[in-house]
Amino acid sequence: MGGTRPSIGSLREEARHCRACPLWKSATQTVFGAGRASARIVLIGEQPGDREDLEGKPFVGPAGKLLDRALERAGIERAQTYVTNAVKHFKFEPRGKRRIHKKPNEQEITACRTQWLDRELRAIAPTLVIALGATAARAVLGRATAIGRSRGHIIKGQSLVSEIAADVIVTVHPSYLLRVPEEDRENAFEEFVKDLKLARRYAPA
């Protein structure tokens, strides 16, 4: 798709009424991306969690706090970035009073990518996309990606969004770091910070 670049504000407004897949039915609201509209770095997660669904903003819950800590350690100001998700509605399974996260499926990822993520990336035209975890990597690269093998280097020119020149870094999802056994957590966190430092050097604000 060529043509004029959409504005993030108009996309966000449009996305409030998204019906591109059935996830809108049980979610509280669309959680669109947030941050700087001219960011050089875009970070992409999987989908909003429970807190994000209620607050309407990406990465504000426990995974978001961890991401904030890692960004700070890497010398990246979150306010200079744009943070979004591959899928814009919370997918969950009710269990008692709790809502348990469920992974989005292929159709949901594809619907959200063509409807929103592609257009978000075209609007921002970043230098670098950081895919946080396997779902984001699949959405951005269009194929299953082994995070362990793909992380730690710049993946050039393979973003599915062909009109933009953004390169890609694949790394772990912050929620993964929350689940790593305690004795390995510090190391895993440091590896994550290392990936973010590479991003900072490649695309300084």
Report the residue number whose CB is nearest to ligand URA.
45
Which is closer to ligand URA, CB of 53 or CB of 167? 53
Radius of gyration of the chain (CA): 16
Q: Are strands 41-45 and 128-132 parallel, antiparallel or unpaired?
A: parallel
Smallest gap, in angstroms, from Cβ of residue 98 to ligand URA?
A: 16
Amino acid symbol at 114: T
Helix (H) or strand (E) holding 175, with range, is: helix 174-179
By C-beta, is 5 or 16 nearer to ligand URA? 16
Minimum CB distance to ligand URA, residue 163 (Å): 25
Task: Compare residues 126 and 174 and give the one whose CB is closer to ligand URA.
Answer: 174
| Residues binding ligand URA (CB under 6 A) | 45-49, 52, 58-59, 61, 63-64, 85, 175
The SS3 of residue 82 is strand
114 DSSP assignment: I
Pairing state between β 41-45 and 82-85 = parallel
Least distance in Å: CB of 85 to ligand URA? 5
